[in-house]
Chains A and B, each alone.
Chain A
């Protein structure tokens, strides 16, 4: 029962991207002047660039450059993102649970939230120089706030009835936190982690544009410098594909960690 339906929805999901590709092909047939090609490279040119980047071994790296850049980006993303989770989740729980923590930290958190990760790049470069640390820091910063905000909301949103039921059983504070509030907040925390991963992707490209000598953001920036617009598009598509895959991973994690919610 479930399988054919799943296949059908997958088909439907591809309709819109395919329509865009068709539109792209159509436009590239019409817009053939050199300047137009700079604005919208034809699909076959992008395909050629993609094959070049993904299949030819780079003499310096010993691997196809697209894989090297993607691997570097993924490594930095993972470091910054995991660090953000490690700090934001405990902090969010503390802010949500303890009144005191709320008064001292929440104001700062709310004030820093609207400052875009991109705005931190100059300072980060000054602190950490060109290299992986700057990029990891920017990813950390970008992923941090959605996670902390959702963790706070999840903890605050825990139904009073559950807490009362636990208190009525003679349950202590720590156990209430561990067995009631954390699981009750978990779906919201995971939503924050999912949003945070998306922001992490956006941040990493911005940071790599200026902060490093490798990564997908660097690939885009470097290609632009050489007026290699096809490779720019390849870099963008690679980010899109990896973004979808990592979001899939997060959704899978949700179903594993929250088995007690009815599947939508």
Chain B
């Protein structure tokens, strides 16, 4: 399988007011993500998961190591990567359609083409009836579906998702997990799937969605272990009740627990 995104010895430090305030978010972080793969990153709070995602997005510079996409060093943001933020980050002054069209607009595509593509993705997330509504008129789940449509409308090769379901309720969350798999292209052959890096603090979410789960240590974030998910695709709801599902969830929790407890205490 082709390597899509590669991090080699990546380090990131945030300088504080004084030298003693400096925070090392990532240290010697090495990871390969394959083309068409759904990779989840889990780890205790503050372990640098989001920092890594932002670095791949080109929104933050790294201090050490190297970061590649398709073998080319990542230096800035680009339309080949799409980001889905935790708090949706829908533009309040744009309707659903304008939000979905935005990445196409940024690419300078003509209006008619934008509209057609946007319509397709709005339909995909079942928001057709709401395409002229503003975000404040939408429920949390609808906002997230709009954000998903915006994410994929620009047709990026790599989807970067930073806890995209953290702010929706538990039931909506389960529904949207299936939605994410559908948008990713679970039903297509691997070669036609997009590459996903999915940051989450929810272990069962990672187990339900991902092909592999990268488990990180607490700060400074390093790769602790990569867990390969044996669950078959397409992922069906009943898998959530399978012994394999709960065992895997438990195994990953075992890897994180001590660090997670410490993260709460400090």
Contacts and interface: CB of A to CB of B under 8 A. Distances in A.
Interface of A: 161-162, 164-172, 175, 179-180, 183-184, 186, 258-262
Given A259-B134, A261-B136, A262-B136, A169 B89 contact: no
A165 B106 contact: no
A89 to B, nearest CB: 17
Majority SS at the chain B contact face: loop
B79 interface: yes
Chain B interface category by residue count? 20 to 34
Contact of A260 (B57, B83, B85, B92): B92
Given A260-B134, A260-B136, A262-B136, A168 B91 contact: no
Contact of A168 (B59, B107, B134): B59
B194 to A, nearest CB: 16
B144 interface: no
A179 B104 CA distance: 13
Nearest to B104: A169
A262 B81 CA distance: 32
A117 to B, nearest CB: 33
Interface string B87-110: 101011110000000110111000
Contacts of A172: 106
Nearest to A182: B93
Given A175-B106, A259-B134, A261-B136, A168 B57 contact: yes
Nearest to B87: A161
A260 B137 CA distance: 9
Nearest to B79: A170
Contacts, number: 62
Q: Which 10 A-B pairs have the closest CB atoms?
A: A170-B79, A183-B93, A171-B106, A165-B89, A168-B83, A169-B103, A260-B134, A169-B106, A260-B93, A161-B89
Contacts of B106: 166, 169-172, 175
Contact of A162 (B57, B79, B89, B136): B89
Majority SS at the chain A contact face: helix
B221 interface: no
A165 B57 CA distance: 10
Contacts of B91: 162, 165, 179-180, 183
Given A162-B91, A171-B106, 7 more contacts: A162-B89, A164-B59, A168-B82, A170-B107, A175-B106, A179-B91, A260-B134
B73 interface: no
A165 B92 contact: no
B154 interface: yes
A186 B81 CA distance: 30
Contacts of B85: 161, 164-165
Contacts of B58: 168
A166 B103 CA distance: 8
27 contacts: A161-B87, A161-B89, A162-B89, A164-B85, A165-B89, A166-B102, A166-B106, A167-B59, A168-B57, A168-B81, A168-B82, A169-B77, A169-B106, A170-B77, A170-B103, A170-B106, A170-B107, A171-B102, A171-B106, A172-B106, A179-B102, A183-B91, A183-B93, A184-B93, A258-B93, A261-B92, A262-B136
B78 interface: yes
A171 B150 CA distance: 14
A175 B102 CA distance: 11
Contacts of B136: 260-262
Contact of B83 (A165, A179, A180): A165
A179 to B, nearest CB: 8
